[in-house]
Amino acid sequence: MLTGNYDKILEKIALASGIEKEEIERRVEAKRAKLSGLISKEGAAQIIAAELGISFDNEKLKIDELLPGMRKVNVVGKVVTLFPVREFNKNGRSGKVANMIIADETSNIKVVLWDTNHIELIEKGEVVEGTVVEIINAGMRDNELHLGSFSEFKKSEEILENVKSEIVAKEKNILNFKNLENVKTRAFIVQIFEPRFFNVCPECKKKVISEGEGFVCAEHGKVMPEKRALLNLVLDDGTETIRGVLFHESISSLGLTDLENVDSFIKQKEELLGKEMFFSGTIRKNKLFNNKEFIIDKAEEIDLDALIKELEENAN
Protein backbone atom coordinates (compact mmCIF):
# COMPACT_ATOMS: atom_id res chain seq x y z
CA MET A 1 0.00 0.00 0.00
CA LEU A 2 1.18 3.47 -0.77
CA THR A 3 -0.63 5.42 1.92
CA GLY A 4 -2.65 2.69 3.59
CA ASN A 5 -1.40 3.35 7.08
CA TYR A 6 -1.96 7.10 6.93
CA ASP A 7 -5.40 6.67 5.42
CA LYS A 8 -6.47 4.25 8.14
CA ILE A 9 -5.37 6.67 10.84
CA LEU A 10 -7.30 9.50 9.14
CA GLU A 11 -10.36 7.29 8.99
CA LYS A 12 -10.09 6.44 12.67
CA ILE A 13 -9.74 10.08 13.66
CA ALA A 14 -12.68 11.02 11.41
CA LEU A 15 -14.82 8.28 12.90
CA ALA A 16 -13.94 9.16 16.50
CA SER A 17 -14.16 12.94 16.13
CA GLY A 18 -16.89 13.40 13.55
CA ILE A 19 -14.61 15.78 11.66
CA GLU A 20 -14.36 15.23 7.91
CA LYS A 21 -11.30 13.47 6.55
CA GLU A 22 -10.37 16.41 4.31
CA GLU A 23 -10.40 18.77 7.28
CA ILE A 24 -8.21 16.42 9.33
CA GLU A 25 -5.82 16.15 6.41
CA ARG A 26 -5.68 19.94 6.23
CA ARG A 27 -4.81 20.08 9.93
CA VAL A 28 -2.14 17.42 9.43
CA GLU A 29 -0.53 19.46 6.67
CA ALA A 30 -0.70 22.60 8.81
CA LYS A 31 0.95 20.74 11.67
CA ARG A 32 3.69 19.46 9.41
CA ALA A 33 4.28 22.94 7.98
CA LYS A 34 4.55 24.30 11.51
CA LEU A 35 7.15 21.65 12.32
CA SER A 36 9.03 22.40 9.08
CA GLY A 37 8.21 18.98 7.64
CA LEU A 38 10.35 17.25 10.27
CA ILE A 39 7.52 14.88 11.09
CA SER A 40 5.86 12.26 8.93
CA LYS A 41 2.21 12.54 7.92
CA GLU A 42 1.43 9.60 10.22
CA GLY A 43 3.21 11.27 13.12
CA ALA A 44 1.41 14.56 12.55
CA ALA A 45 -1.93 12.71 12.39
CA GLN A 46 -1.14 11.14 15.74
CA ILE A 47 -0.55 14.58 17.26
CA ILE A 48 -3.85 15.82 15.82
CA ALA A 49 -5.56 12.76 17.32
CA ALA A 50 -4.03 13.49 20.74
CA GLU A 51 -5.12 17.13 20.48
CA LEU A 52 -8.67 15.95 19.78
CA GLY A 53 -8.51 13.65 22.79
CA ILE A 54 -8.57 10.52 20.66
CA SER A 55 -6.43 7.70 21.92
CA PHE A 56 -5.40 4.54 20.14
CA ASP A 57 -4.58 3.01 23.52
CA ASN A 58 -5.97 -0.45 24.25
CA GLU A 59 -7.34 -0.76 20.77
CA LYS A 60 -6.46 -3.88 18.83
CA LEU A 61 -4.40 -2.61 15.93
CA LYS A 62 -3.09 -4.05 12.70
CA ILE A 63 0.68 -4.05 12.42
CA ASP A 64 0.76 -1.38 9.70
CA GLU A 65 -1.11 0.95 12.05
CA LEU A 66 1.62 0.86 14.69
CA LEU A 67 3.57 4.09 15.00
CA PRO A 68 6.63 5.19 16.95
CA GLY A 69 5.64 6.52 20.35
CA MET A 70 2.45 4.48 20.75
CA ARG A 71 1.84 3.00 24.18
CA LYS A 72 -0.54 0.30 25.40
CA VAL A 73 -0.44 -1.44 22.07
CA ASN A 74 -2.53 -4.56 21.51
CA VAL A 75 -1.82 -6.66 18.46
CA VAL A 76 -2.04 -10.22 17.15
CA GLY A 77 0.59 -11.67 14.85
CA LYS A 78 2.19 -14.85 13.62
CA VAL A 79 5.81 -15.44 14.61
CA VAL A 80 7.61 -15.60 11.26
CA THR A 81 11.18 -15.36 12.55
CA LEU A 82 12.38 -16.29 16.01
CA PHE A 83 15.91 -15.30 16.99
CA PRO A 84 17.89 -17.19 19.65
CA VAL A 85 17.34 -15.89 23.19
CA ARG A 86 20.33 -13.78 24.20
CA GLU A 87 21.78 -13.13 27.63
CA PHE A 88 23.13 -9.69 28.34
CA ASN A 89 25.25 -8.12 31.01
CA LYS A 90 25.21 -4.37 30.82
CA ASN A 91 26.08 -1.77 33.45
CA GLY A 92 25.92 -4.37 36.21
CA ARG A 93 22.50 -5.57 35.10
CA SER A 94 22.10 -8.98 33.60
CA GLY A 95 19.14 -10.68 32.05
CA LYS A 96 17.73 -12.16 28.90
CA VAL A 97 16.22 -10.67 25.82
CA ALA A 98 14.33 -12.32 22.99
CA ASN A 99 13.71 -10.92 19.53
CA MET A 100 11.24 -12.05 16.92
CA ILE A 101 9.41 -10.82 13.87
CA ILE A 102 5.63 -11.14 13.91
CA ALA A 103 3.41 -10.60 10.90
CA ASP A 104 -0.25 -10.14 10.08
CA GLU A 105 -1.92 -9.58 6.73
CA THR A 106 -0.90 -5.91 6.68
CA SER A 107 2.77 -5.88 7.65
CA ASN A 108 5.40 -7.21 10.03
CA ILE A 109 7.35 -5.83 12.96
CA LYS A 110 10.23 -6.67 15.27
CA VAL A 111 9.10 -7.60 18.78
CA VAL A 112 11.46 -7.48 21.75
CA LEU A 113 10.71 -9.43 24.95
CA TRP A 114 12.41 -8.43 28.21
CA ASP A 115 10.29 -10.32 30.75
CA THR A 116 11.57 -13.75 31.86
CA ASN A 117 8.03 -15.19 31.97
CA HIS A 118 7.51 -14.26 28.32
CA ILE A 119 10.95 -15.51 27.31
CA GLU A 120 10.25 -18.81 29.07
CA LEU A 121 7.49 -19.56 26.55
CA ILE A 122 10.17 -19.55 23.85
CA GLU A 123 12.69 -21.51 25.90
CA LYS A 124 10.08 -24.20 26.61
CA GLY A 125 9.20 -24.38 22.93
CA GLU A 126 5.61 -23.27 23.48
CA VAL A 127 6.07 -20.34 21.14
CA VAL A 128 7.87 -21.33 17.95
CA GLU A 129 7.99 -20.01 14.40
CA GLY A 130 4.44 -20.27 13.07
CA THR A 131 2.76 -19.68 16.44
CA VAL A 132 0.14 -16.94 16.49
CA VAL A 133 0.66 -14.73 19.53
CA GLU A 134 -1.42 -12.07 21.21
CA ILE A 135 0.38 -9.07 22.66
CA ILE A 136 -1.32 -6.76 25.13
CA ASN A 137 -0.04 -3.51 26.59
CA ALA A 138 3.25 -3.25 24.71
CA GLY A 139 5.02 -0.04 23.76
CA MET A 140 6.57 1.19 20.53
CA ARG A 141 10.25 2.16 20.70
CA ASP A 142 11.14 3.65 17.35
CA ASN A 143 9.94 1.00 14.94
CA GLU A 144 10.04 -1.92 17.38
CA LEU A 145 7.41 -3.27 19.74
CA HIS A 146 8.79 -3.78 23.26
CA LEU A 147 7.20 -5.85 26.03
CA GLY A 148 7.96 -5.37 29.70
CA SER A 149 6.62 -7.00 32.83
CA PHE A 150 3.34 -5.08 32.53
CA SER A 151 2.76 -6.51 29.07
CA GLU A 152 1.01 -9.75 28.23
CA PHE A 153 2.39 -12.24 25.75
CA LYS A 154 0.40 -15.38 25.02
CA LYS A 155 -0.61 -17.86 22.37
CA SER A 156 -3.67 -16.87 20.38
CA GLU A 157 -6.39 -19.07 18.92
CA GLU A 158 -6.65 -16.77 15.93
CA ILE A 159 -5.74 -18.24 12.57
CA LEU A 160 -3.67 -15.94 10.41
CA GLU A 161 -3.15 -16.87 6.80
CA ASN A 162 -1.37 -14.94 4.07
CA VAL A 163 0.72 -12.94 6.49
CA LYS A 164 3.07 -10.36 5.05
CA SER A 165 6.44 -11.73 6.01
CA GLU A 166 8.70 -9.96 3.52
CA ILE A 167 10.34 -6.77 4.72
CA VAL A 168 7.91 -3.93 4.27
CA ALA A 169 9.57 -0.79 3.07
CA LYS A 170 8.06 2.49 4.17
CA GLU A 171 7.30 4.85 1.35
CA LYS A 172 9.10 8.10 2.07
CA ASN A 173 10.59 11.19 0.55
CA ILE A 174 14.38 11.22 0.37
CA LEU A 175 14.43 14.19 2.74
CA ASN A 176 12.91 12.00 5.48
CA PHE A 177 15.23 9.00 5.07
CA LYS A 178 16.69 7.85 8.40
CA ASN A 179 19.67 5.62 9.08
CA LEU A 180 18.94 1.84 8.95
CA GLU A 181 15.40 2.29 7.68
CA ASN A 182 13.89 0.12 4.97
CA VAL A 183 12.40 2.55 2.53
CA LYS A 184 10.74 2.80 -0.82
CA THR A 185 10.75 5.97 -2.83
CA ARG A 186 9.77 7.24 -6.24
CA ALA A 187 12.64 9.23 -7.71
CA PHE A 188 14.46 10.29 -10.85
CA ILE A 189 17.88 8.94 -11.78
CA VAL A 190 19.99 12.05 -12.26
CA GLN A 191 23.46 10.55 -12.44
CA ILE A 192 25.01 7.12 -13.04
CA PHE A 193 28.67 6.43 -12.38
CA GLU A 194 30.96 3.88 -14.03
CA PRO A 195 30.40 0.39 -12.62
CA ARG A 196 33.15 -1.05 -10.46
CA PHE A 197 34.12 -4.69 -10.24
CA PHE A 198 35.57 -6.79 -7.45
CA ASN A 199 36.15 -10.46 -6.65
CA VAL A 200 34.35 -12.49 -4.02
CA CYS A 201 34.63 -15.98 -2.60
CA PRO A 202 32.13 -18.36 -4.31
CA GLU A 203 31.29 -19.91 -0.92
CA CYS A 204 30.74 -17.00 1.46
CA LYS A 205 30.51 -14.09 -1.04
CA LYS A 206 33.03 -12.08 0.94
CA LYS A 207 35.79 -10.11 -0.70
CA VAL A 208 38.90 -12.07 -1.62
CA ILE A 209 42.43 -10.73 -1.86
CA SER A 210 44.75 -11.53 -4.72
CA GLU A 211 47.77 -13.51 -3.70
CA GLY A 212 50.36 -14.46 -6.28
CA GLU A 213 48.52 -16.04 -9.19
CA GLY A 214 45.25 -16.70 -7.39
CA PHE A 215 42.81 -15.38 -4.84
CA VAL A 216 42.43 -16.11 -1.15
CA CYS A 217 39.36 -15.96 1.11
CA ALA A 218 40.07 -15.37 4.79
CA GLU A 219 37.81 -18.29 5.65
CA HIS A 220 37.95 -20.63 2.66
CA GLY A 221 41.56 -20.27 1.57
CA LYS A 222 42.49 -20.46 -2.11
CA VAL A 223 39.37 -20.05 -4.26
CA MET A 224 38.27 -19.39 -7.82
CA PRO A 225 36.66 -15.99 -7.31
CA GLU A 226 33.38 -14.75 -8.69
CA LYS A 227 33.37 -11.33 -10.28
CA ARG A 228 30.80 -8.95 -8.79
CA ALA A 229 29.70 -5.50 -9.82
CA LEU A 230 28.84 -2.37 -7.90
CA LEU A 231 27.07 0.65 -9.31
CA ASN A 232 26.66 4.11 -7.83
CA LEU A 233 23.99 6.53 -8.94
CA VAL A 234 22.28 9.68 -7.72
CA LEU A 235 18.53 9.91 -7.15
CA ASP A 236 16.39 13.00 -6.83
CA ASP A 237 12.72 13.08 -5.83
CA GLY A 238 12.31 16.82 -5.60
CA THR A 239 12.84 16.94 -1.84
CA GLU A 240 16.50 15.94 -1.75
CA THR A 241 19.15 13.98 -3.61
CA ILE A 242 20.88 10.84 -2.36
CA ARG A 243 23.63 8.56 -3.57
CA GLY A 244 22.38 5.07 -4.26
CA VAL A 245 24.46 1.89 -4.34
CA LEU A 246 23.45 -1.24 -6.20
CA PHE A 247 25.21 -4.58 -5.96
CA HIS A 248 25.31 -7.33 -8.54
CA GLU A 249 21.76 -8.79 -8.82
CA SER A 250 20.06 -5.51 -8.00
CA ILE A 251 21.75 -3.82 -10.95
CA SER A 252 19.77 -5.87 -13.45
CA SER A 253 16.51 -4.57 -11.93
CA LEU A 254 17.53 -1.20 -13.37
CA GLY A 255 17.59 -2.70 -16.82
CA LEU A 256 21.37 -2.66 -17.12
CA THR A 257 22.35 -5.95 -18.66
CA ASP A 258 25.92 -5.96 -19.89
CA LEU A 259 28.05 -3.82 -17.60
CA GLU A 260 31.37 -4.98 -18.97
CA ASN A 261 30.54 -3.94 -22.51
CA VAL A 262 31.36 -0.22 -22.49
CA ASP A 263 29.30 0.65 -25.58
CA SER A 264 26.14 -1.07 -24.37
CA PHE A 265 26.60 0.39 -20.88
CA ILE A 266 26.82 3.95 -22.25
CA LYS A 267 23.75 3.38 -24.40
CA GLN A 268 21.68 1.91 -21.54
CA LYS A 269 22.89 4.62 -19.18
CA GLU A 270 21.69 7.34 -21.56
CA GLU A 271 18.24 5.74 -21.57
CA LEU A 272 18.14 5.59 -17.78
CA LEU A 273 19.17 9.18 -17.05
CA GLY A 274 16.10 11.24 -16.18
CA LYS A 275 13.94 8.15 -15.77
CA GLU A 276 11.59 7.95 -12.79
CA MET A 277 11.32 4.62 -10.99
CA PHE A 278 10.49 3.10 -7.59
CA PHE A 279 13.53 2.21 -5.51
CA SER A 280 13.52 0.09 -2.36
CA GLY A 281 16.34 -0.73 0.02
CA THR A 282 18.06 0.26 3.22
CA ILE A 283 19.56 3.53 4.40
CA ARG A 284 23.11 3.30 5.72
CA LYS A 285 25.39 5.94 7.04
CA ASN A 286 28.60 6.18 5.06
CA LYS A 287 31.15 6.64 7.83
CA LEU A 288 33.84 7.85 5.47
CA PHE A 289 31.86 10.78 4.11
CA ASN A 290 29.46 11.08 7.04
CA ASN A 291 26.43 11.12 4.79
CA LYS A 292 23.50 8.87 4.07
CA GLU A 293 23.59 6.22 1.38
CA PHE A 294 20.74 4.26 -0.13
CA ILE A 295 21.62 0.56 -0.54
CA ILE A 296 19.13 -0.29 -3.27
CA ASP A 297 17.79 -3.85 -3.39
CA LYS A 298 15.36 -3.31 -6.19
CA ALA A 299 14.42 -0.79 -8.83
CA GLU A 300 10.91 -1.11 -10.27
CA GLU A 301 9.09 0.38 -13.19
CA ILE A 302 6.28 2.70 -12.22
CA ASP A 303 3.06 0.91 -13.08
CA LEU A 304 0.66 3.77 -13.75
CA ASP A 305 -2.35 1.50 -14.12
CA ALA A 306 -1.74 0.01 -10.68
CA LEU A 307 -1.23 3.46 -9.17
CA ILE A 308 -4.51 4.73 -10.57
CA LYS A 309 -6.31 1.62 -9.33
CA GLU A 310 -4.87 2.15 -5.86
CA LEU A 311 -5.91 5.81 -5.82
CA GLU A 312 -9.43 4.80 -6.83
CA GLU A 313 -9.58 2.19 -4.09
CA ASN A 314 -8.42 4.71 -1.52
CA ALA A 315 -11.02 7.19 -2.68
CA ASN A 316 -13.84 4.73 -2.06
CA–CA gap between residue 244 and residue 295 (Å, rounded) = 6
The secondary structure of residue 301, as a DSSP letter, is: -
* 220 contacts Zn ion (rule: CB under 5 A): yes
* 141 contacts Zn ion (rule: CB under 5 A): no
- Stretches 77-85, 138-146, 219-227, 231-239: which one binds Zn ion (CB under 5 A)? 219-227
* 200 contacts Zn ion (rule: CB under 5 A): no
The secondary structure of residue 162, as a DSSP letter, is: S
- Quote the Cα angle for 264-270-275, to 5°: 125
Task: Kindly provide the b/e burial profile for residues 232-254, where b requires at least 16 CB atoms within 10 angstroms of the residue's own CB.
Answer: ebbbebeeebbbbbbebebbebb
For residue 89, the one-letter residue type is N
In the complex with Zn ion, the residue whose CB is nearer, 86 or 222, is 222
Q: Is the dihedral of CA 57, 61, 66, 72 positive or negative?
A: positive
In the complex with Zn ion, the residue whose CB is nearer, 67 or 217, is 217
In the complex with Zn ion, the residue whose CB is nearer, 11 or 203, is 203
* Helix-then-strand count for the chain, H and E: 7, 17
* 209 contacts Zn ion (rule: CB under 5 A): no
* 204 contacts Zn ion (rule: CB under 5 A): yes
Q: Which residue among 57, 158, 219, 260 contacts Zn ion (CB under 5 A)?
A: 219
* 301 contacts Zn ion (rule: CB under 5 A): no
In the complex with Zn ion, the residue whose CB is nearer, 191 or 199, is 199
In the complex with Zn ion, the residue whose CB is nearer, 224 or 262, is 224
Number of residues that bind Zn ion (CB under 5 A): 6
- Stretches 15-23, 54-62, 215-223, 278-286: which one binds Zn ion (CB under 5 A)? 215-223
Q: What is the smallest separation between the CB atom of 221 and Zn ion, expressed in angstroms?
A: 8
In the complex with Zn ion, the residue whose CB is nearer, 220 or 267, is 220
Task: Report which residue's Cβ sits closest to Zn ion.
Answer: 201
The backbone region for 162, taken as left when phi is positive above 0, alpha when psi lies in -120 to 50, beta otherwise, is left
CB 49 within 8 A of CB 40: no
Pairing of strands 209-211, 214-217: antiparallel
Q: Which residues bind Zn ion (CB under 5 A)?
A: 201, 203-204, 217, 219-220
